[in-house]
Chains A and B, each alone.
Chain A
Amino acid sequence: RKEVEQDPGPFNVPEGATVAFNCTYSNSASQSFFWYRQDCRKEPKLLMSVYSSGNEDGRFTAQLNRASQYISLLIRDSKLSDSATYLCVVSDTGRRALTFGSGTRLQVQP
């Protein structure tokens, strides 16, 4: 079983749509959680950290359920520029490296 699992997609949505991505992680020692965005053939870039209480950054809302070891990302009012691969990422305090999911590809269409 992979440490971080994501639906690979692709998710094809029209502009303005709301889309949700889900992620599960297997290591209960995970302490930090993030969503990264990766454009084709580029390095990943931090989109947002995910906190237990849930957090929002503009059109993006992230949720964490530690009991279920589940993380989600909601994108509202999708823009063409949101087209990318979204990576669910976790980190534990021991190793302190990041463990990446395989990513969910989003394609926003005009």
Chain B
Amino acid sequence: GAVVSQHPSRVICKSGTSVKIECRSLDFQATTMFWYRQFPKQSLMLMATSNEGSKATYEQGVEKDKFLINHASLTLSTLTVTSAHPEDSSFYICSAREGLLGNTIYFGEGSWLTVV
């Protein structure tokens, strides 16, 4: 079945550095991908919607210059956390919708980011 692969699953970085997280759809074309963030004991919060070949749409309160999203192909979207700070430590998870009209959303395994 359809699978979304997310990498890395865990990353520790120093404050001030940048970290890139990849989200790949393995056997389907994902026109739209979504990036979520989840802090401990809280809900998944949508950060941005990524559309292949166009700029991402960010949710209110999410800094687009800090969380760079690139969706250059139908199978890959990347999230780069720039100049990371300890408060950016969180669980980041992507999801992908198959095709333009697909109703099923597939989730990646998530990435745990710890900024020290």
Q: Give A residues with C-beta under 8 Å from B.
A: 4, 32, 41-45, 87, 95-103
What total of chain B residues lie within 8 Å of the partner, measured CB to CB?
A: 21
For the complex, what is the distance from the CA of A87 to the CA of B43, rounded to whole Å?
8
A44 contacts B107, C-beta separation under 8 Å: yes
> Do B103 and A32 touch (CB < 8 A)?
yes
| Nearest-neighbor residue (CB-CB) of B10 within chain A | A41
* Bound: A45/B44 CA distance, A: 13
Task: Kindly state whether residue B112 has any CB partner on chain A within 8 Å.
Answer: yes
State the CA gap A96–B49 with chains docked (Å).
9
Chain A nearest CB from B55 CB (Å) reads: 16
B46 contacts A103, CB within 8 Å? no
Q: Are A41 and B112 in contact (CB under 8 A)?
A: yes
CB contact between A97 and one of B43, B49, B103 (< 8 Å): that residue: B49
Measured in the bound complex, the distance between the Cα atoms of B43 and A100 in whole Å is: 6
Asked if residues A102 and B103 are in contact (CB atoms below 8 Å), the reply is no
**Distance in Å: Cβ of B26 to nearest Cβ of chain A:** 15
Contacts of B44 in A (CB 8 A): 44, 87, 98, 100
Q: How far is the CB of A44 from chain B (nearest CB, A)?
A: 6
Cα–Cα, bound, A98→B24 (Å): 19
Please tell me if the beta carbons of B42 and A95 are within 8 angstroms of each other in the complex: no
Contact (Cβ within 8 A) B110 A102: no
Min CB gap B103→A, angstroms: 7
Residues from chain A with a CB closer than 8 A to the CB of B95 are: 98
Residues of A within 8 A of B103 (CB): 32
Assess whether A96 is in contact with B43, with CB atoms less than 8 Å apart. no
